[in-house]
Amino acid sequence: MPTIQIKSSAGPYSFYCSRGAIAQAPRLIKRLGDATGVFVLSSPRVWRHWGGVLARTLPGARQPILFDDEESSKRLAAVEAIARNLILAGADRHAVLVAIGGGVVGDVAGFAASSYLRGVRLVHIPTTLVAQVDSAIGGKTGVNLPEGKNLVGSFYPPKLILADPDVLDTLPHRDFRSGLYEVVKYGVIADAELFRFLERRMNAVLRRDSAALGWIIPRCAAIKARVVTADEREGGLRQILNFGHTIGHALEAVTGYKRFLHGEAIGWGMIAATLMAVATDKLSDAEAIRIIRLVASIGPLPSLAKIQASELRPILAGDKKARAGRVRWVLPRRIGKTEWGIDVPWQIVSSAFAELPVIAADAGL
């Protein structure tokens, strides 16, 4: 099975990716060492699709602890409910928690694992494209506050990640496409060959061709693994993962997290950052056109109607990555190479944003 190693301050862990990986879960969890119990955390929706298969395979999966995985349920109350269920189920310090779901399940279950009895072992079985290529790797866990996203959390790496591309078959198409924007992001920031693969094979990818996905997922996971191994706490290099996220997060916030899925907002954010890179002479027109075309090839993005650049400005200044109100941008130099920590004059930011609808119309978005 293709395996990727990730190093963290809490020790190394492995990412396995292959079709049928879930069948290997009992054996791989056993290798983590003695456990007094294996406790499965998931959501009703994921369980409806995969509970039957998992209950036959995984210890602990016959009595899963299920919690809602709407973004609006990603709250401290969910962590408390999980902890109370774990107590009732008799989970002690030598338990293993297995989080099975998308990024919401992983973030909430991860935070629960980091704080329950001051920390119990965590295994991720990611079931969305975003979770397989991004959120399950790197140890960021957390929940939202009414004041903003992911404001309470911890760095808490799992002991093991098991990704099975076949699990993505049941994912709603919009969620699947949303994850593809993050895949494009990896190509732009760090992997020109991945980018070319996506240019050639986007149709197969959109059909969820398992050979194409079986190539892409470990490729992206390896990039994330390399970046978080080098910079676990986001002191430097890890910031490149935020390409497209500065404008993207602002678009999500200004529309109350309702209009865009996360990846869709990142799609717009990557186009805006690409325009800014051209305007600051960092990126050639030819490469910018390729980036915009690849983003557009995933399909239409929700419209930007009624959103003004001026509304985004205060949100950008309050971004977690901003320092003293100055936004630090991540901009591509060429496909496969990015810079971070860049200051861009507001005039250029707002012009790039104003240009988006025109660029979108040209690209057929």
Please name which of 127, 62, 53, 120 lies closest in space to residue 86, comparing C-alpha atoms: 120
User: Is residue 210 within the footprint of ligand NAD (CB under 6 A)?
Assistant: no
Using the 8-state DSSP alphabet, how is residue 116 labeled? G
Look up 140 and say whether it is catalytic: yes
Binding residue (CB under 6 A) for ligand NAD from 21, 67, 86, 134: 134
> Which of positions 8-67 make contact with ligand NAD (CB under 6 A)?
43, 45-46, 49
User: Is residue 165 within the footprint of ligand NAD (CB under 6 A)?
Assistant: no
Binding residue (CB under 6 A) for ligand NAD from 159, 238, 245, 262: 262
DSSP annotation string for 123-165: EEEE-SHHIIIIITSS-EEEEEETTEEEEEEEE---SEEEE-G
Query: Near ligand NAD by CB under 6 A, which window of 34-42, 54-62, 99-107, 229-237?
Result: 99-107
Please name which of 124, 120, 122, 140 lies closest in space to residue 132, comparing C-alpha atoms: 124
CB-closest chain residue to ligand NAD: 103
| Distance separating alpha carbons of residues 75 and 164, to the nearest angstrom | 27
Q: Which two tokens stand for residue 239?
A: 């910031």
Look up 245 and say whether it is catalytic: yes
Binding residue (CB under 6 A) for ligand NAD from 109, 131, 253, 315: 131
Kindly report the number of other CB atoms within 10 A of residue 154's CB atom.
Answer: 14
Look up 238 and say whether it is catalytic: yes
User: Is residue 103 within the footprint of ligand NAD (CB under 6 A)?
Assistant: yes
Look up 264 and say whether it is catalytic: no
Binding residue (CB under 6 A) for ligand NAD from 18, 114, 135, 239: 135
Look up 199 and say whether it is catalytic: no
Q: Tell me the backbone φ, ψ of residue 152, rounded to 5 degrees.
A: -125, 125
Question: Per-residue x/- marks for ligand NAD, 221-260, CB under 6 A?
Answer: ----------------------------------------
Based on CB atoms, which residue is closest to ligand NAD, 226 or 290?
A: 226
Residues in binding contact with ligand NAD, number by CB under 6 A? 28
**Is the distance from CB of 178 to CB of 171 less than 8 angstroms?**
no
Three-state SS for 100? strand
| Distance separating alpha carbons of residues 193 and 343, to the nearest angstrom | 29
- In one letter, which amino acid is 64? P
Please name which of 267, 249, 260 lies closest in space to residue 148, comparing C-alpha atoms: 249
Based on CB atoms, which residue is closest to ligand NAD, 101 or 218?
A: 101
Catalytic (active-site) positions: 118, 140, 182, 224, 234, 238, 242, 245, 249, 262
Question: Which positions lie near ligand NAD, rule CB under 6 A?
Answer: 43, 45-46, 49, 69, 71, 74, 101-105, 107, 127-128, 130-131, 134-135, 138, 140, 149-150, 167, 170-171, 175, 262
